[in-house]
Chains A and B, each alone.
Chain A
Amino acid sequence: MRRILTAAGSVLALAVPLLLPSVGFAQAREAFLKSAPRILEVFAEVVARPSESTARVLCEGKEVALATIVEADGLLLTKFSELVGTEPVVRLKDGKEHKGTILGAHKLYDLALIRIDAKGLKPAEWRTEGPAPGDWLVTPGTGDKPLYVGVVSVAARKTTRFDFPVLAIPPAGSGYLGVLLDEVAVPGKVVITSADKDTPAEKAGVKAKDVILTIDGKEIKEITGVQAIVSAKKPGEMVTLKIQRGDEEKELVVTLGKRPAAGPGGNRGDFQNNLGSELSKLKTGFPTVLQHDTVVKPADCGGPIVDIDGKVVGINIARAGRVESYAVPVDAILKLLPELKEGKHPLPK
């Protein structure tokens, strides 16, 4: 059994049997997958119309993303960070290719607005009411059959700092406490779950179960708060930890050590997330997301995702982890689209 350490220092309990002898499964022959070809076929009529609102984006001859037609006279949205260079080519369902001009890009949602010289296109038919967990979600491509199917995992939500934890890859040679932390058991507080022998924290008298109140006078509410202070300091520098132990409050001065080379702080949660499917390069920071369980390839993001009636409920924006893909919900798209058209999100120079 392995206890997997995340970057934040808390342990995620899911054992990865890396010791499983490599007697593997020929998964291409798995007949009972939810997304098996014979099931995708049944969804074909669902994507008949939305596939006409889907386009393929090529950069330097390579398929890098899908795109969503948002207006009949040649406006599309796609995933900005997948574009290379400034001259994307858009291939519509009818096979015709058009040169695209990138008019702007919304940084947080990673959506770029592209204009092509084409008229009479079929724009996405939006559904404004968000779908619920358990609803089928179908990803059309530009063909007659869907590319993927899945279900809504979490209804559209505002993301928080807990959704996109800062990856604790601290600057090389930065200060190091030597503790494992947990910010989930007690909301708004960070608890030390272990202070191993001979770590800088243990030497200063820190014990497991201590609750961190302040560091250097700053109130600590989450693990990123600890990281921000500690990784900005150098080995040998000191921090004052005010902790609560039972009923008592104590002040402890820790002399920071040097982060060990192959430390346990390495993000093995990230390792698990990367097992079995490729993840998008840019997969965090979206202000709102519609989360689903479809295994979308990164190069197939940027196109619409529809419900079982074929109505568009979002634009696939990232394969974010082993269990999750994100779509930008329709209400966010309808807000940022006029902003993009008005030039409020010019391309970075």
Chain B
Amino acid sequence: MSSRRLYAGTVLFAALAATTLLAADVKDTPVPPLAPIEKLPAILENATPTSLDELREIQDQTKKVLAKVLPSTVGLVVGGASGSGVIISEDGLILTAGHVSGKPDQKVTIIFQDGRRVVGKSLGQNKGIDSGMVKITTEGKYPFVAMGKSAGLGKGTWVITAGHPGGYKEGRTPVVRLGRVLEATASVLRTDCTLVGGDSGGPLFDMRGNVIGIHSRIGPSITQNMHVPVDTYRDTWDRLVKGESWGGGFFGLGGGPNNPPTPAGAPAYLGLMFDPNLDAPKVTEVNKDSPAEKAGFLVDDVLTKFDGKVVKNFDELIKHLGTRKAGDEVAVDILRADKPMTLKVTLGKRPS
């Protein structure tokens, strides 16, 4: 008798469990656990090679990583936009750029390196940092890579970029680039892996083959290639899988209490170059005929306050500069040979 009751209880439990599984939705996907970060030899982390042997080590590891990760590197087409993405779960969750996936719940075409196409839909997007997610809806098991860790990435870290610059092209495998991390903050990674339109949303890998960044945008210089750090996908996981769209303006330069809005009107221009190897904004060049030159800035000046706000580093300076427009007069506090001074600069218009 008791065994029959047990049996009935078990069947009921199984039936309930089955129903729950059917109801499970991408919205409830938990963030994948952070896998232990395997230790690598220094030359595969961020050491600068000093021998041919070390160069060969880098080459060998790069090719090992590529064999592992290229099958998960995909082209994406959303609306009329072509971008890239990387699959991070067996059932087809894809990390991409916020401006590629766009509004949630749009139809997405996913293209593998052999040309095979499946369909999916866009999930959430964080417009402030430019992160986005897509989910493949065609049934299947997909090759995927692990998310690594972007916090604490050192300058010089060897990285591999893959993507579909110019959009996916039949017969062209994902385009590979090797480079090094030049700068890393909580909101952006900069590397010398060159990027161009179509690469957006594609993966930046470390030498373990873990995704540590997602391609986002470029600047005028060949070394201004910016990627979204992967940790932010982990930190905002629930909002992304639930299909939320949030975040301010132009990559953090507008909207929200921490992101003052970008004003209408011509963007502000100072005309200074800064030492990329320092945190403090120390001037290395003053552009000829620029507002900064007219205001009396000199090489080696260290900026301490912009517009009354403390600027401890380059990111903070950019943030506050982005709230002003051409024509604004701004007070800038500096240290010149350890002597504090204040310069008044009339911000100009960015030369074309």
A-to-B contact residues, CB < 8 Å: 1, 3-4, 6, 10-27, 29-36, 38-39, 42-43, 45-46, 132-136, 150-155, 157-158, 160, 162-163, 180-182, 184-187, 193-194, 268-269, 272-273, 275-277, 291, 293, 295, 308, 321-324
Taking a contact as CB atoms under 8 Å apart, the answer to whether A21 and B270 are in contact is yes
Q: Does B171 contact A (CB under 8 A)?
A: yes
- Chain B residues contacting A20 (CB-CB under 8 Å) are 219, 267, 318
Using A153-B175, A160-B171, A187-B117 as known contacts, say yes or no to A32 and B198 having CB atoms under 8 A apart.
Answer: no
Give Cα distance in the complex from A43 to B165, angstroms.
Answer: 29
- Chain B residues contacting A19 (CB-CB under 8 Å) are 250, 253, 262, 267, 322
Taking a contact as CB atoms under 8 Å apart, the answer to whether A23 and B166 are in contact is no
- Chain A residues contacting B167 (CB-CB under 8 Å) are 6, 10, 12, 184
- Chain A residues contacting B181 (CB-CB under 8 Å) are 32
Residue of B nearest to A181 (CB): B80
Residue of A nearest to B183 (CB): A25
Using A23-B272, A25-B224, A34-B178 as known contacts, say yes or no to A43 and B195 having CB atoms under 8 A apart.
Answer: no
Interface size on B, residues (CB 8 A): 97
Give Cα distance in the complex from A187 to B112, angstroms.
Answer: 13
Taking a contact as CB atoms under 8 Å apart, the answer to whether B194 and A322 are in contact is yes
Q: Does B99 contact A (CB under 8 A)?
A: yes
- Chain B residues contacting A45 (CB-CB under 8 Å) are 52
Give Cα distance in the complex from A43 to B219, angstroms.
Answer: 29
The interface centre, meaning the residue of B75, B180, B350 with most chain A CB atoms within 10 A of its CB, is B180
Give Cα distance in the complex from A152 to B63, angstroms.
Answer: 11
Taking a contact as CB atoms under 8 Å apart, the answer to whether A24 and B274 are in contact is yes
- Chain A residues contacting B215 (CB-CB under 8 Å) are 14
Interface bits B196-212 vs A (CB < 8 Å: 1, else 0): 11111100000000000
Stretch of B11-19, B43-51, B141-149, B336-344 on the interface side: B43-51
Partner of A34, one of B52, B169, B179, B270: B179
- Chain B residues contacting A291 (CB-CB under 8 Å) are 175
Interface bits B98-123 vs A (CB < 8 Å: 1, else 0): 01100000000101000101000000
Q: Does B168 contact A (CB under 8 A)?
A: yes
- Chain B residues contacting A1 (CB-CB under 8 Å) are 99, 127, 130, 250-251
Q: In terms of DSSP, what is the predominant structure of the interface of chain A?
A: loop
Give Cα distance in the complex from A166 to B83, angstroms.
Answer: 20
Tell me how far the C-beta of A313 lies from the nearest C-beta in chain B, rounded to whole angstroms: 14
Using A3-B81, A13-B81 as known contacts, say yes or no to A42 and B51 having CB atoms under 8 A apart.
Answer: yes
Among B83-109, those with CB < 8 Å from A are 83, 97, 99-100, 109
Taking a contact as CB atoms under 8 Å apart, the answer to whether B175 and A13 are in contact is no
Q: Does B308 contact A (CB under 8 A)?
A: no
- Chain A residues contacting B155 (CB-CB under 8 Å) are 32
Stretch of B21-29, B54-62, B231-239 on the interface side: B54-62
- Chain A residues contacting B224 (CB-CB under 8 Å) are 25, 276
Taking a contact as CB atoms under 8 Å apart, the answer to whether B82 and A184 are in contact is yes
Tell me how far the C-beta of A279 lies from the nearest C-beta in chain B, rounded to whole angstroms: 12
15 additional contacts (CB under 8 A) given A23-B318, A276-B222 = A6-B197, A11-B79, A16-B197, A18-B350, A19-B322, A22-B269, A42-B49, A134-B160, A151-B59, A154-B175, A158-B171, A180-B80, A187-B115, A276-B194, A323-B194
Q: List 11 A-B contacts (CB under 8 A).
A: A6-B167, A13-B81, A21-B350, A22-B270, A23-B274, A42-B54, A180-B80, A184-B109, A193-B80, A322-B218, A323-B165
Using A194-B80, A295-B222 as known contacts, say yes or no to A151 and B271 having CB atoms under 8 A apart.
Answer: no
- Chain A residues contacting B192 (CB-CB under 8 Å) are 30, 32-35
Using A12-B81, A39-B49 as known contacts, say yes or no to A322 and B222 having CB atoms under 8 A apart.
Answer: yes
Give Cα distance in the complex from A324 to B75, angstroms.
Answer: 18
